[in-house]
């Protein structure tokens, strides 16, 4: 059985360590024990560092605190790094067999800053190949599973991270979101999942600069305060990331309880084009009522911006193809079939088609600019259904209606990667199958503070931190 430490919020664990109420060695061992208990089922990790070395780091942290040194705001917290991000000592495989021996020169900027804040990286967490899909399975590391029900996926692409955190293995992990890859697994694992504004958290160092401006790094955590603390530790400009924004000049943690009283809030259950399963819509509508109970008027609306269809895929596939094309001559058959099929669509995208996609993206940005003149927050479902099975099998219809576009299985998350707006998924109850449901909160450009404030107020109104998947069921043979 797990220790109470396994499901305690990261900010509370750090405070206990900083005040000498908790030994970082004890916390590290509790994480090891939970990993040993559950990871055969969850398969959240692609690799973990030597445990004796990790315990030695925890003991050194304990000694620093005893000497009166400042251990940092994340003092002694063990964490995992998503497979798609660089961690020194581990290959940056992109969860892809042809890249199995591809080692980075060092840590990503985000990992460097988390370590500088006192956290201890213990290993890397699973993802789909190059973050291609919203389920976490690949030919190199296998299938990750949802701790609420291992027959189902934890989501993707930050699926190993979400399984590790929701399953009580570590207090937090890194994630990244290029089309929903933080918010989707957060929704399906019942966690808050923050997609920061583009540029808010520095990425890199890079081997190839991208041109799509859609993907961001961010936290996989158990509470909104944990997310704010994480962001406080990693934001700020970086010489190796030309898109990194300057520090905003204040603490997101300090701003959490300052949600304005006169917000204009809109709720769109379908954005005018998506279908949603009835139990998911009911769960999200209950979340919307939480804002009404706080005294806010919420307007239900439909269409806000045009349906982008598969244009997100058209834009994103070009960058993926550019990363892999040198490997195709000799290792083409080592890529996952579905992944490779998607990546190779880039070869069919001529510059005129790419231009059409970017013009559609410009219309999206302009339509959202008009929307955020009228409203401060937008609420939507995070996803139209609860977690699918762990190996895939996406639905071909939703609420009895056939899909009009392949991207309509994830209709609510990619638009805000294309636009760059901040968004967060928060747990808004459970489906008829007793799996978590997510409500998405979106704010205007660079209003990460407002997204966090709204999510924090929602968390107080609809608390979720008292229910986690303590019992992880064994898989049927």
Beta carbons of 222 and 337 less than 8 angstroms apart: no
Residues 6+ apart with CB under 8 A from 291: 265, 298, 379, 454, 458
Q: What is the dihedral of CA 408, 411, 416, 422, to 10 degrees?
A: -150
> Which residues are 441's β-sheet partners?
379, 424
Q: Active-site residue numbers? A: 82, 157, 181
Three-class secondary structure of residue 150 per DSSP: coil
Phi, psi of 47 (to 5 degrees): 180, 145
DSSP 288: H
For residues 331 and 329, give the distance between their C-alpha atoms in angstroms, rounded to a whole number: 6
Q: How many CB atoms lie within 10 A of CB 255?
A: 18
Beta carbons of 300 and 272 less than 8 angstroms apart: no
Phi, psi of 123 (to 5 degrees): 165, -165
Residue written as tokens 């964490």? 79
DSSP 165: H
* CA separation, residue 295 to residues 147, 255, 257, 298, 300 (Å): 35, 20, 16, 9, 16
How big is the chain, counted in residues? 477
The first and second tokens of residue 256, run together, are 């959490």
Per DSSP (E only), the strands in 161-225 are: 172-177, 193-195, 216-220
Per DSSP (E only), the strands in 15-143 are: 45-48, 78-82, 120-125, 137-138, 142-143
Half-sphere exposure of 75 (CA within 13 A, CB side): 27
The first and second tokens of residue 33, run together, are 């024990």
- The separation between CA 216 and the C-alpha centre of its own chain, rounded to angstroms, equals 9
Residue written as tokens 């160092």? 205
- The separation between CA 470 and the C-alpha centre of its own chain, rounded to angstroms, equals 21
Beta carbons of 46 and 83 less than 8 angstroms apart: yes
343-350's contacts with Cβ under 8 Å and 24+ in sequence apart are 343/130, 343/132, 343/317, 345/313, 345/314, 345/317, 346/317, 346/318, 346/320, 346/321, 346/322, 347/321, 349/314, 349/317, 349/318
């Amino acid at each position: 059985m797990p220790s109470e430490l396994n499901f305690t919020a990261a900010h509370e664990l750090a405070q206990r360590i900083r005040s000498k109420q908790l030994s970082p060695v004890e916390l590290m061992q509790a994480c090891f024990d939970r990993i040993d208990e559950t990871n055969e089922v969850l398969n959240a990790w692609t690799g973990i560092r030597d445990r004796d070395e990790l315990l030695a780091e925890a003991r050194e942290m304990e000694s620093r605190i005893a000497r009166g040194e400042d251990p940092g705001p994340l003092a002694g917290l063990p964490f995992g790094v998503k497979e798609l991000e660089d961690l020194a000592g581990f290959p940056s495989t992109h969860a892809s067999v042809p890249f199995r021996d591809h080692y980075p020169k060092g840590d990503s900027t985000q990992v460097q800053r988390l370590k500088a804040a006192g956290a201890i990286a213990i290993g890397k967490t699973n993802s789909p190949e190059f973050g291609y899909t919203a389920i976490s399975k690949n030919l190199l590391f296998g299938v990750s599973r949802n701790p609420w029900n291992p027959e189902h996926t934890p989501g993707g692409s930050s699926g190993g991270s979400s399984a590790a955190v929701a399953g009580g293995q570590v207090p937090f992990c890194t994630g990244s979101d290029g089309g929903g890859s933080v918010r989707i697994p957060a929704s399906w694992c019942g966690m808050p999942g923050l997609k920061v504004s583009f540029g808010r958290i520095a990425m890199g160092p890079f081997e190839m600069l991208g041109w799509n401006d859609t993907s961001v790094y961010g936290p996989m955590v158990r509470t909104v305060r944990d997310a704010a603390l994480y962001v406080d530790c990693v934001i700020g400009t970086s010489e190796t990331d030309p898109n990194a924004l300057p520090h905003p000049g204040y603490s997101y943690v300090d701003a959490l309880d300052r949600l304005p009283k006169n917000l204009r809030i809109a709720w769109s259950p379908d954005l005018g084009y998506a279908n949603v399963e009835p139990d998911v819509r009911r769960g999200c509508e209950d979340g919307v009522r939480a804002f009404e109970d706080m005294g806010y008027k919420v307007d239900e609306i439909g269409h806000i911006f045009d349906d982008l269809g598969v244009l997100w895929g058209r834009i994103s596939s070009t960058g993926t193809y550019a990363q892999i094309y040198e490997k195709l001559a000799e290792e083409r058959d080592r890529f996952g079939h579905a992944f490779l099929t998607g990546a190779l669509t880039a070869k069919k995208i001529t510059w005129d088609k790419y231009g059409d996609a970017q013009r559609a993206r410009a219309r999206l940005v302009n339509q959202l600019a008009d929307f955020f003149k009228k409203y401060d927050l937008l609420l939507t479902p995070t996803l139209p259904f609860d977690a699918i099975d762990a190996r895939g099998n996406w639905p071909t219809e939703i609420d009895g209606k056939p899909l009009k576009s392949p991207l309509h299985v994830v209709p609510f998350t990619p638009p805000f990667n294309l636009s760059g707006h901040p968004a967060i998924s928060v747990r808004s109850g459970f489906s008829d199958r007793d799996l978590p449901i997510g409500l998405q909160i979106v704010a205007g450009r660079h209003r990460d503070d407002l997204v966090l404030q709204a999510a924090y107020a929602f968390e107080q109104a609809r608390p979720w931190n008292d229910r986690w998947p303590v019992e992880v069921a064994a898989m049927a043979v």
